[in-house]
Chains A and B, each alone.
Chain A
Amino acid sequence: MRVSLNLIKKYVDLPKNLTDKQIAYDMTLRTVEVDKVEDVSLKYHDIVVGKILEVKKHPNADRLKICITDIGEDKPVQIVCGGSNLYEGEYVVVSKPGAEVVWHGEGEPVKVEETKMRGETSYGMICAASEVYLSDFFPSDNENEIIDLKGIDCKPGDAIANLIGMNDTVLEIDNKSLSNRPDLWGHYGIARELSTIYNVPLKNLSKYELDKNLPKYNVEIEDTTKCNRYVAVEIDGIYEKESPIWMKSLLSKTGQRPINAIVDITNYVMMAVGQPLHAFDRNHVNGEKIIVRNAKENEELLLLDNNTIKLTTDDLVICDEKDAMALAGIRGGKKDSILPDTKGIVLEVANFSASAIRKTGKRFAEKTDASIRYEKGIDTQRIDEGLSLALELIKEIFPDSKIIKYSDVYPNRTKKNEIKVSEEFLDTRLGKKISKDKIKQILISLGYEVSYNNGVYDVMVPTWRSTGDVTIKDDVMGDIARILSFDSFEAKPINITIEHPIIQNDVLLNRRIEEYLSSRCGFYEIYTYPWIDEKYIHAAKIDISKSLKLATPPAPSLAYLRSSLIPGMLEAIAKNLRYYNEFKLFEKAEVYQKGDYRPSSNDEILPIQNNYLTGCIVGKNAKEIFYEAKGVIENMARYCHMENIKLEKIEKPNYADINAYLNVTKDDEIIGSLGLLSVQVMSDSKIKRTNVAIFEINSDKLDTYNSRTNKYERLPELPLVEKDLSILVDKEVEWNKIEESIKSMVKEIEFIDEYKGSQVPSDKKSITLKVKMINEFTTMTSEQINEKINNVLKVLNKKCGAELRTE
């Protein structure tokens, strides 16, 4: 909503010396955030009234004229102009050098400069309405016509901003922040807040009183659950004409387009008090009767643009005896339009239930200024304010008009909520004692009726806050706190009792894992979206039958939610390969699949959701990165203090190469996998000229130790003897077999290196390993060492067919 401070100042005398910025700031802290403070006169700087003294022919251009113009400066100036309606003595709008205009009413504003046009000096320009944001005030169909200020009281040099009431500041407030405050959808409501904030009186809105002893206009409300009140006033002597400048000005500043005086009055009242109004041409109302009823199934409403909309029985319509004229509280139809032949109107000031308007509005996906306000819940009493202001304006703008008939059908009245608020409650929750007088002053200024008895305030909530906004004592407390300003309360320390230490092993394990991967193993952590591009789901060969889908995804290809972190990782790898050849990434996030999971209550059945951990190592040497990734998993349990996980080859993950994968297991259950990406997966996900080792683990299955579990080992008193051996074995012999065969014979075995190539026979490989030996009581002699090594070699030969490699 756009709030004109000039209009606000009609309703409340704000303290002097208050800057507009300060007003915006105080409102932001206490009532609603002001997004922008806009000086609306700025658009019109250096734009003034000019009087054309002389119109001369341009020597070099037939279409241009030279106008000697008085712009209120020492001397008249020369302006070149191509306007079709120039004449001597004409009062025009002049943009002086420095002003900003929009060429031909289109595009960005351009700064006016003193220039030569076809050889003749032009001091600024004489403007058409669309060039200087004046179309609302001086509508014209002919773009060659400049503005003629005939009939307007002005003199050369007058600032245009003054002339059209644009010397004003507009506060811009996001409509979203007003959703819970239906009372703030008009200037009068904002004025009430400011009168409370600055503790100054709020003036009366309008003194107009309608003589209610008039013949009745025939109004019938069929569905009183949807229409709470309907006032109809038939007025004669109203016709289509332009509004006065001050009214156009207010509408233009608040974002409404001036249309004609009748429509403008209804919009003005809506901007002033937040009550929508509607005017019907009285001659179009068949049978001089208004019926408020639910539409018939498939009933049609003809709109102004000659389209029709189909209605249902849920929609409330305003009808005459023949057919529907308007969609209640949302929009008018063709039948009710004000036309050049209009001679009188039926003015509707009505109150429709918020839920009915919301329902219909939602179905037509349409929000109008009226429906937005009705949706929030307006009190029925606001009709009186709106009506009296509207009638006052009508009297002013159509002095000859006459009210002929009147009707007020009022089935439901907004009741004031009654709330008891104890002093003790306020003291505790506010955290400080506020005087009774202050509390009363704040509440009364906001419109509450307050009485105080024995430590309890009996509070009557004003009707404009009783449509859902203020219902419980906490709401009243909130009103007091915000008007005092939350900032004015000192921070109060919180007292706590220490009962037990907080030990959250799962939180700690999570932290250890992320730090292990990032700091010790050199991975960068990434976050990806939970919705996954189908391209990568297919690339990773993921079965989507158990995947969940979004009803309204960010894009059609992003409908599936992740059931694995691998596809997201594939995308991240492909993207980063544009800039880096080698890198390591990891992600921890939830994955989802269809299933039955009830974390909180029995009626809530959620899909199965698990925390997963995935990581990848990207690099050229497939073998190297595979073993690096394997090392990351092998060491994780030890470094992160969790129960052991194992790597075994059980079943091939879909993403993996046929020769390089392992499963991660814990207590004989598969909880993850590790492998090289297969050629096909890489090709499908556009991962080129590199290799990727990737792992994925269901981290919910990982268990932390409650405490450190490894035992201290006494330091050996005797030296450990180390011996490196290079052996030749058949290619197929796995390290596991070698290790197992001699494990019991020595203290430790360490793998050093594997070699295949020209130095060894083609069906063989060379393995270098280190064995560590120790005697229990005495230092090993060289004979003992040799004997041990020989035994080791014998066993290796017997079990693995190994030969000692000789250089």
Chain B
Amino acid sequence: MKERLEEIKTKGIERIENVKNITELEQVRKDLTGKKSELSKVLKSMNDLSSEEKKSIGMLTTEIKTSFVEKLNLKEEELIASLSVLEEPIDLTLPGKKVNEGALHPITQMKNDLNDAFLSLGFEVYSEDDISSEKYAFDNLNFAKDHPARQSMDTYWLEGTEAKEGAERLCLRPHLTGGSVRYLQKHGAPARFVYPGGAYRNETTDARHERAFFQYEALIVDKDISFSSGMVLIQTILEKVFGRKINTRMREGFFPFTEPGYEIDMECLVCCGKGCKVCNHNGWIEVMPGGVIHPNVLKSAGLNPEEWTGFYINIGLDRLVMMRYGIDDVRLFHSADLRFLKQFK
């Protein structure tokens, strides 16, 4: 009897080991542990045996059954682990399914990045209309009456108003700065705001010059602040845009609406300051004019310059985006060319 049981065990374990799939496994499970299994037959045929023998055979049978169940469970786990939802392996190198295409213009992306940075510094975002008047574009900003920028060689005046003056002479805004007075007239001081937008100038275009371009201006008006506070903003912007500290220099610059005015140059990222075509071979790129608001501008905004002061920075978004990606032709921004735009997902 014992021999038979040993044989059942060996054969059974062998069968379990040879099982190839779950269906077969279930059949084997039935055959080895079911009511009609060899083991059940052995148990049923035990009547003739002594109680001593019954006990030891019974124990042996149970032991074998337990080991069958264990082995079957192990086998089952093994089989499940090797199961695949696929009928056959697939080519893993095939490309994945395309996601929805589409992207914001690189200028908009830059604008949004800067908005995020300035919002975190407690600035408001302001916007002004494209068409403005000589009063807001020049008079309020302390431009001399016969400043060359007022000429039609420089500014796009609207037909029918070009011979008029001040509030009646209308133009596509030549810079964003006029918006500062609009804002201050409406909201007063202290003030802290940025205003992104397009500006337009009558220019001959080439890879470095455009008639329509984008600016991003930031302005702070408060009491008793020094012009050097403006440098904090500059560093914030550049670090935000390029993700690291960028070498800058601040140099003398003249703008009618500032006193003093300065130009902020950043190290040319195309040549790392060594000098190349993009930076006109001097290693620096002019990115942001800025300066302390001229007292006459504060006056036109209805503020007392003895009480209030402040400063601007005006970022040339086009230049900054060109630096960010190494773009070599400013005219691409208005080209609406998808071959260009698809690169900025």
List residues of A whose CB falls within 8 A of some B CB.
28-33, 35, 177, 179-181, 355, 358-359, 362, 428-432, 468, 472, 474-475, 477-479, 481-482, 485-487, 489-494, 496, 498, 502, 504, 507, 511, 514-515, 517-530, 548-554, 559, 561, 568, 571-572, 575-576, 579-580, 583-585, 589-590, 592, 599-601, 603-607, 609
Contact = CB atoms under 8 A, between A and B. Distances in A.
Interface in B205-264: 211-212, 220, 222, 224-229, 231-232, 235, 249-254, 259-263
Interface in B140-187: 144, 146, 148, 151-153, 156-162, 166-168, 170, 172, 182, 185-186
A571 B335 CA distance: 10
Contacts of A492: 225-226, 228-229, 231-232
Contacts of B157: 550-552
Contact of B251 (A28, A479, A550): A28
A29 B251 contact: yes
A491 B131 CA distance: 36
Name which of A519, A528, A579, A584 has the most chain B CB atoms within 10 A of its CB. Answer: A519
A515 B104 contact: yes
Closest 3 pairs (CB-CB, A-B): A431-B226, A478-B260, A491-B231
A496 B338 CA distance: 43
A525 B228 contact: no
Contacts of A474: 259-260, 292, 294-295
Contact of B232 (A494, A504, A548, A552): A494
A305 to B, nearest CB: 25
Contact of A475 (B123, B259, B262): B259
Given A552-B156, A592-B131, A572 B251 contact: no
30 contacts: A177-B254, A180-B254, A428-B224, A430-B227, A431-B228, A472-B295, A482-B252, A493-B232, A494-B220, A494-B229, A511-B115, A515-B104, A519-B102, A525-B103, A527-B334, A529-B212, A530-B198, A530-B212, A549-B158, A549-B159, A549-B160, A550-B156, A551-B162, A568-B336, A571-B336, A572-B336, A575-B337, A576-B337, A600-B136, A601-B185
Given A431-B227, A492-B228, A527-B334, A179 B341 contact: no
A502 B122 contact: yes
Contact of A358 (B115, B146, B249, B294): B146
B159 A524 contact: no
Contacts of A359: 146
A179 B148 CA distance: 10
Contacts of B112: 511
B13 interface: no
Contacts of A525: 103-105, 108, 341
Contacts of A528: 334, 336
B342 interface: yes
A137 B98 CA distance: 71
Nearest to B203: A554
Contacts of B342: 524
Contact of A429 (B222, B309, B337): B309
B280 to A, nearest CB: 8
Contacts of B336: 526-528, 568, 571-572, 575-576, 585
B101 A486 contact: no
A28 B262 CA distance: 11
Nearest to A468: B144
Nearest to B172: A530
B317 to A, nearest CB: 11
A721 to B, nearest CB: 30
Given A521-B100, A606-B129, A580 B338 contact: yes
B100 A520 contact: yes
A516 to B, nearest CB: 10
Contact of B107 (A482, A527, A550, A552): A527
Interface in B2-30: none
Contacts of B231: 489-492
Given A530-B130, A530-B172, A507 B125 contact: yes
B5 to A, nearest CB: 53
A476 B253 CA distance: 15
A164 B254 CA distance: 37
Q: Classify the interface of chain B: helix, strand, loop or mixed.
A: mixed
Nearest to B296: A472
Nearest to B178: A600
A606 B170 contact: yes
A477 B146 CA distance: 26
Contacts of B220: 494
Nearest to B182: A600
Contacts of B65: none
Given A552-B157, A575-B337, A607-B170, A514 B104 contact: yes
A414 to B, nearest CB: 18
A218 to B, nearest CB: 34
Contact of A524 (B103, B144, B161, B211): B103
B107 A604 contact: no
B159 to A, nearest CB: 4
Nearest to B152: A552
A535 to B, nearest CB: 16
B144 to A, nearest CB: 8
Given A529-B212, A579-B338, A609 B129 contact: yes
B200 interface: yes
A226 to B, nearest CB: 15
Contacts of A478: 259-261, 292
Interface in B257-275: 259-263
B119 interface: yes
Nearest to B236: A491
A75 B227 CA distance: 67
A518 B226 contact: no
Interface in B325-344: 333-339, 341-342
A472 B112 CA distance: 39
Nearest to B133: A604
Contacts of B108: 514, 525
Contacts of B225: 431, 492, 494
B263 A502 contact: no
A551 B166 CA distance: 16
A197 B202 CA distance: 37
A575 B107 CA distance: 21
Nearest to B161: A551
B339 to A, nearest CB: 6
B229 A491 contact: yes
Contacts of A429: 226-227, 292, 309
Name which of B100, B102, B131 has the most chain A CB atoms within 10 A of its CB. Answer: B102
Nearest to A514: B104
Nearest to B290: A486
B124 interface: yes
B61 interface: no
A564 to B, nearest CB: 15
Given A478-B260, A527-B333, A551 B159 contact: yes
Given A478-B292, A530-B198, A552-B152, 16 more contacts: A30-B251, A35-B280, A429-B309, A491-B228, A492-B231, A494-B229, A507-B115, A511-B115, A527-B333, A527-B336, A529-B212, A548-B158, A561-B172, A579-B338, A583-B338, A609-B129
Contact of A606 (B119, B132, B144, B254): B132
Contacts of A583: 338
A491 to B, nearest CB: 4
A486 B290 CA distance: 12
Contacts of B103: 518, 524-525
Contact of B228 (A490, A514, A550, A559): A490
A73 B86 CA distance: 88
B99 to A, nearest CB: 9
Nearest to B146: A358
Contacts of A177: 254
Name which of A355, A486, A514 has the most chain B CB atoms within 10 A of its CB. Answer: A486
A498 B190 CA distance: 12
Given A496-B192, A554-B202, A526 B254 contact: no
Contacts of B146: 355, 358-359
